[in-house]
Amino acid sequence: MNSMKEEFIGILKNYQGILHKVNLIYFRNPTDREDNFQEIVYQLWKSFPSLQNKNSLGSWIYAVSINTSLLRLRNESRIEYREDPPDSIDKTDILEELSKNEHCSLLLKAIYKLNEMDKSIMLLYLEEKSYAEIAEILGITLSNVGVRISRAKEILIQNLKNC
Amino acid sequence: METTEFQNAWKNIDSEINLKSTDELNFILQTKIRKTMNKFLIIFGIDVIVCAGLLVFLTVTAINRQADVIYLVNNSLLGLITLSALFISLFSLKKLQNNKSDLSVKDWLEFRIRLLSGWLSGKYSKLYIILVPILIIMINLSIHVYYEYKPLPEVMTNMESVFGQIVGFIVALAVSLYALKKIRKYQLKNLEYLKSLLSALQ
């Protein structure tokens, strides 16, 4: 159990950037991001023992992170209100930091205007994932990936013009 | 902003992310596991306490009314239904927690839609419309007859008792159906949300 946990934490440490980025495109509030981060970690831990192919760790982490975030978005109205954010939340918010970079800030604003599925597709595209990887994570065909990316890109460009 | 610029801008995000240390990740995992266990135990505890309380009541009242056969049948049936409800609720809770979030997004959406559709429009989804009124009548009878200190057939011939039963039945039925309708409405919204996500992916 302990060796499995150590292995899991090791993987999580190397791949935690994925969790942060999925959080970033779906949640603007730092408290929601922190709560969702914890939930993703828990969902990853739950499915870790049944993980068959450890060569596609990235795809597994993306899929779990996106699925967990989508479910949380639906339940967002039930998220408890906290006056003081938990101590574990970073004092400097990433969104504040990114707002100093004009391009980043514009890009994020445009991404926030996309629908939930297009956000995931755009994230995977920006992360320079191959079509095959995107197809595996989203569970759609390769040809559909191309169509979805170009459509999401068009909307993103339109959103950027409006920003 | 051109397409290649998107990706370059996105790369800047990596440098702004505050990565968590091994200790922090360990702490997050342990805290979340503990929280989830506590949540499960609280729901499980309430479920068991309510059912156990009802079973104790049914047993004690049945022992005190051994001569009243109809009353004994009523309490026995209620006991059986309570036990079944306890197992079904625990099974549902376990099923709900089995999120299968490691599936691809499309498969996961289809899995959740199947699960919710089964509850909301499956074979037994409307069973509550029949079961709830029957259960209310049986519980009302069990409590009312016991505190009347008379056999069940005798209580049912008393107009005042029958009137009280009818009022109690209507109030309890209205409250139960309102609560169930609220839950169903919430789950239907969930189902619609998942279906909209799936159609956005297709």
Question: Among residues 97-136 of chain A, which lie with CB inside 8 Å of chain B?
Answer: 97-98, 101, 103-104, 106-107, 115-118, 120, 126-128, 136
Gap from B68 CA to chain A (nearest CA, Å): 49
pLDDT given for residue A89 in this prediction: 47
DSSP 8-class letter at B126: T
Is 70 exceeded by the pLDDT of residue A1? no
Same domain, A13 and A75: yes
Same domain, A60 and A11: yes
Same domain, A117 and A56: no
Least confident of A21-35, A36-50, A71-85, B117-131: A71-85
Gap from B85 CA to chain A (nearest CA, Å): 26
Q: Which domain holds residue A71?
A: 1-81
Gap from A86 CA to chain B (nearest CA, Å): 12
* Beta carbons within 8 Å of B193's beta carbon, 6+ residues apart: A74
The amino acid sitting at B54 is L
Same domain, A74 and A107: no
Count how many domains chain A has: 2
pLDDT given for residue B26 in this prediction: 93
- Reading the block at residue B55, the tokens are 């079973």
CATH number at residue A45: 1.10.1740.10
- Reading the block at residue B11, the tokens are 């790369």
Q: Do A24 and B13 touch (CB under 8 A)?
A: yes
CB burial of residue A2 (10 Å; 0-12, 13-18, 19+): exposed
Same domain, A21 and A59: yes
Is 50 exceeded by the pLDDT of residue A39? yes
pLDDT in tens, A124-146: 999 999 999 999 999 999 999 99
Provide the 10 A C-beta neighbour count for residue A147: 11
Q: Do B6 and A107 touch (CB under 8 A)?
A: yes
Asked if residue A89 belongs to a domain, the reply is: no
Sort out which chain B residues have CB atoms less than 8 A from A153's CB and list them: 3
Is 80 exceeded by the pLDDT of residue A99? no
Whether the CB-CB separation of A89 and A38 falls below 8 Å is answered with no
* Beta carbons within 8 Å of A87's beta carbon, 6+ residues apart: none
Q: Binning pLDDT at 50, 70 and 90, where does residue A79 land?
A: very low
Share of chain A above pLDDT 90, in %: 56
Chain mean pLDDT for chain B: 88
CATH number at residue A112: 1.10.10.10
Asked if residue A87 belongs to a domain, the reply is: no
Sort out which chain A residues have CB atoms less than 8 A from B16's CB and list them: 94, 97-98, 104
Last residue within a domain, chosen from A15, A47, A81: A81
The reply to whether A4 touches chain B by the CB within 8 Å rule is no
pLDDT given for residue A126 in this prediction: 92
Q: Do A51 and B102 touch (CB under 8 A)?
A: yes
Is 90 exceeded by the pLDDT of residue A159? no
Same domain, A115 and A51: no
Same domain, A9 and A49: yes
Helix axes A142-162, A116-126, angle to 10 degrees: 100
Report the helix count and the strand count for chain A, using DSSP H and E.
8, 0
Asked if residue A88 belongs to a domain, the reply is: no
User: Is the ipTM of this structure higher than 0.85?
Assistant: no
* Beta carbons within 8 Å of B7's beta carbon, 6+ residues apart: A126, A128
* Beta carbons within 8 Å of A159's beta carbon, 6+ residues apart: A109, A110, A111, A113, A114
pLDDT in tens, B15-61: 888 889 999 999 999 999 998 888 888 888 888 899 999 999 999 99
Q: Binning pLDDT at 50, 70 and 90, where does residue A82 land?
A: very low
Asked if residue A6 belongs to a domain, the reply is: yes
Last residue within a domain, chosen from A46, A81, A116: A81
Spatial separation of the C-alpha atoms in residues B8 and B87, rounded to whole Å: 55
Last residue within a domain, chosen from A22, A55, A81: A81
Spatial separation of the C-alpha atoms in residues A21 and B175, rounded to whole Å: 45
Whether the CB-CB separation of A118 and B27 falls below 8 Å is answered with no
pLDDT in tens, B10-20: 888 888 888 89
Max distance between CA atoms of chain B, in angstroms, equals 87
**Between residues B198 and B5, the one the model is more confident about:** B198
Same domain, A3 and A63: yes
Gap from B115 CA to chain A (nearest CA, Å): 14
Spatial separation of the C-alpha atoms in residues A75 and A92, rounded to whole Å: 26
Same domain, A8 and A62: yes
**Between residues B102 and A6, the one the model is more confident about:** A6
Same domain, A77 and A1: yes
